Amino acid sequence: MKTPLFVKIHLPKSKPFDVQKVVKPYFVVPWHFHPEFEIMLVTQGKGTRFVGDSIECFEPYDLVMLGPNLAHVWKNHQEHYEENVPHVAECIYTLFREDSFGDSFFNIPEMNKISKLLSKASRGIKFEGKTKALVAEKILASLHQTGVEQFVTLVDILHLLSNSEEYTFLATIGYDQKVQASDLQRLNGVLDYLMKNFKNEIKLEQVANIANMSPTSFCRYFKNRTGKTVTQFINEIRIGHAHKMLIETQFNMDQISYESGYKNVSNFHEQFMKITGKSPFRFRKEHSESVF
């Protein structure tokens, strides 16, 4: 797997907002943040989504809204990087600034709910249910629109999102982002290593070496920037992979534990409960029941 170069994503000054479709074998944009709001709809591909201190799996029709300067990245599952295996990562993203339509546009009374939505987006918001279906339809339509029509659709999308109760926050309420642009290249190297090696034993010395730091300094640095210890971070990646296996396979718990990087099944169950609040058996049962 090639590590993509660090890139800065931003909205051109000449455009008040932008709607773009991206189609790749895998998402290439590394961990980053930008001053714009972003609405991100994944239409193809699966993987792990990192927003602030949130680590969750994503799949097609994952719909998220992000506030300005909130660090985020979508990393596809390993199969997307395998040669001669056709996998597609596809998304549609919309970028806009709070002042894109004038300094007072979101301050008029009619925009009160949307203004509150913009404030909520500072933690990142994931939308589900009917809201997701309706908004996804409008996002897909906006790709084929221009000018006023596309602008009206964006306002309509924000209106739907602002009235929805089908959402959850991503970053925790106490999350205080301390990551800076200068940190992102270093953290991206660490993240790529962890995503590639989470099934194996990971030694702190190896991870710290990627960041060109001593283990002690790296532990402090990583916790300060991500809000999690290295061990917490790895466990959340592993449990996210276990989610995928519980949903997509009929493997038993011993197999899933091993494939998720746990050589001790008891430890796997303990970490799963700690992170999700439910057992792997209950998680699989609930997902199975929701399908039918």
Residue 192 falls inside a structural domain? no
Q: What is the pLDDT of residue 10?
A: 65
Residue type present at position 251: F
Is 90 exceeded by the pLDDT of residue 5? no
Residue 278's CATH number: 1.10.10.60
Residue 188 falls inside a structural domain? no
Q: In terms of domains, do 32 and 88 share one?
A: yes
Q: In terms of domains, do 202 and 165 share one?
A: no
Residue 221: band (very low, low, confident or very high) from pLDDT cuts 50, 70, 90: very high
Q: In terms of residue numbers, what domain contains 277?
A: 198-291
Q: What are phi and psi of 188, to 5 degrees?
A: -65, -40
Q: What is the pLDDT of residue 290?
A: 58
Residue 40 falls inside a structural domain? yes
Residue 131 falls inside a structural domain? yes
Whether the CB-CB separation of 26 and 76 falls below 8 Å is answered with yes
Q: In terms of domains, do 160 and 224 share one?
A: no
Residue 11 falls inside a structural domain? no
Is 50 exceeded by the pLDDT of residue 7? no
Q: In terms of domains, do 63 and 163 share one?
A: yes
Counted domains in the chain: 2
Q: In terms of domains, do 34 and 128 share one?
A: yes
Residue 151 falls inside a structural domain? yes
Question: How confident is the model over 234-243, as a mean pLDDT?
Answer: 95
Residue 186: band (very low, low, confident or very high) from pLDDT cuts 50, 70, 90: confident
Mean pLDDT for all residues in the chain: 91
Is 60 exceeded by the pLDDT of residue 2? no
Q: In terms of domains, do 22 and 150 share one?
A: yes
Whether the CB-CB separation of 207 and 195 falls below 8 Å is answered with no
Q: In terms of domains, do 141 and 67 share one?
A: yes
Residue-wise pLDDT tens digits, 34-64: 999 999 999 999 999 999 999 999 999 999 9
Residue 23 falls inside a structural domain? yes
Q: In terms of domains, do 162 and 204 share one?
A: no
> Residue 179 gets which letter from DSSP?
-
Question: How confident is the model over 131-152, as a mean pLDDT?
Answer: 97
Q: What is the pLDDT of residue 6?
A: 38
Q: How far apart are CA 253 and CA 260, in angstroms?
A: 10
Q: In terms of domains, do 48 and 118 share one?
A: yes
Q: In terms of domains, do 229 and 151 share one?
A: no
Q: What are phi and psi of 127, to 5 degrees?
A: -105, 150
Residue 23's CATH number: 2.60.120.10
Residue 77 falls inside a structural domain? yes
